[in-house]
Amino acid sequence: MFIAQAYKGNNTWWRVLITTILTAGVFIINFIMYFLMSKEDLDKVYQKMNEFPNNLSLLMNLLPFVFLLALLFLLVRGLHERSILSLTTSREKVDYKKILFSFGLVVFMTIAGFVVSYAVDNSSILWNFNPLKFAILFLISILLFPFQIGFEEYLFRGYLMQQIGIIAKNRWFPLLVTSVLFGVFHSANPEVAKMGFGVMFFYIGTGFLLGIMTLMDESLELALGFHLGNNLMAALLITSDFSAIHTDAVFRYSGVENPVDMLNEMIVSIVIVYPIILFIFVKKYNWTNWGAKLTGKIEISNTHK
C-alpha cells in the first residue's frame, strides 16, 4: 500500500516534526501572515507584486520550490532513511506513462473547454501573444513548474499523507486532512481576496481529487501529471488581473471581475469535470475496491517491519 511505504523509514516523532516544519513552513508562514495583515496591507503587497515584469515575477515565485523540493528529498533520504521511490509509489518503479497520460488528459480537456468557451463568447478574451515574452514564459514554465507541483505533491500527497496515515492507521483521515490543508495553504492567493473564501471549496475539492488519484492508484504519478498540466495551462493559455500569477499568456481575460461567474466555473470543474477525469482513470486503470482503498485500515506487513 502507498501509505504503508512510510514504514520503510525512521518515523521518530522529532524527525517528522523537523521535516514538516522545514518543508511546510513556507505555507504556514504565508498563511499566518495573510490573516495578520489588514486588507489594505494585502492590497499593497499584491500591488507591489504586480509592479514586477510578469516573467520576473513568475521566476521569483517558482524558484524557491527548487530548493524546497531538494530539501524535502534530502530530509526523507537523510533523516527518515528511506528512498524517494517509497515517497512516489508502492510499485517497484515509477510509471512515467501514467504521468504523461494524466498530463495530456488535463491539457486536452483544458484546451477543449477553452475553445468551447471562446466560441460561445469571446468578447472578454483578448489576444495577448508576444513571441519573445511567451518564449521566455514557456522556458520558465517548462523548467520550474515541475519543481513547484513536485514539491506540493510530494509534500501533501506524499510525505504528509503517508505520515498522517501511519499515525491514524487508516486512509480516510489523511485524505481528509491533506485535502483541507492543501486548500487552506492556498488561501493567501490573490484570487481568494478578490473572490472571497468560496473559492476555497475549489482548492479543497482539487485536493480531494488529487488525494483520491493517489490512494486509488497507490502512487503519485497521476496526481503529478494532473497538477503539472493544470498549472502549465493556467500560465500559458490565459491570464487575468485576478489570477494567482500574472503571465504573458497567449490570451488575456479583460472582463469585469464577477465573483459569482468565476465561482460557478469552479463549481462546474468540481461537479462535472473532476468526475469525468476520475471516470476515465477508472476505465483505463481498472480501479476497484474503492471503499477499502479510500477508507481502509493501514496495517504493517512483514516487508515493512
Residue 267 confidence class, pLDDT cut points 50, 70, 90:
confident
Task: List pLDDT tens digits, range 96-105.
Answer: 999 999 999 9
Asked if residue 283 has pLDDT above 90, the reply is: yes
- Give residue 207's Cα distance to chain centre: 7
The pLDDT > 70 percentage for the chain reads 91
Task: List pLDDT tens digits, range 136-187.
Answer: 999 999 999 999 999 999 999 999 999 999 999 999 999 999 999 999 888 7
Nearest to 242 by CA among 43, 61, 55, 53: 43
Q: What are the distances in angstroms from CA 2 to CA 103, 160, 294?
A: 21, 12, 11
Report d(CA 305, CA 303) in Å as an integer: 6
259: exposed, middle or buried (Cβ count in 10 Å: 0-12, 13-18, 19+): middle
Asked if residue 305 has pLDDT above 50, the reply is: no
Report d(CA 266, CA 192) in Å as an integer: 13
DSSP structural state of residue 304: G
Report d(CA 243, CA 149) in Å as an integer: 17
- Is residue 252 classed as helix, strand or coil in its secondary structure? strand
Residue 8 confidence class, pLDDT cut points 50, 70, 90:
very high
Task: List pLDDT tens digits, range 224-243.
Answer: 999 999 999 999 998 877 67
pLDDT the model gives residue 29: 85
Report d(CA 290, CA 280) in Å as an integer: 15
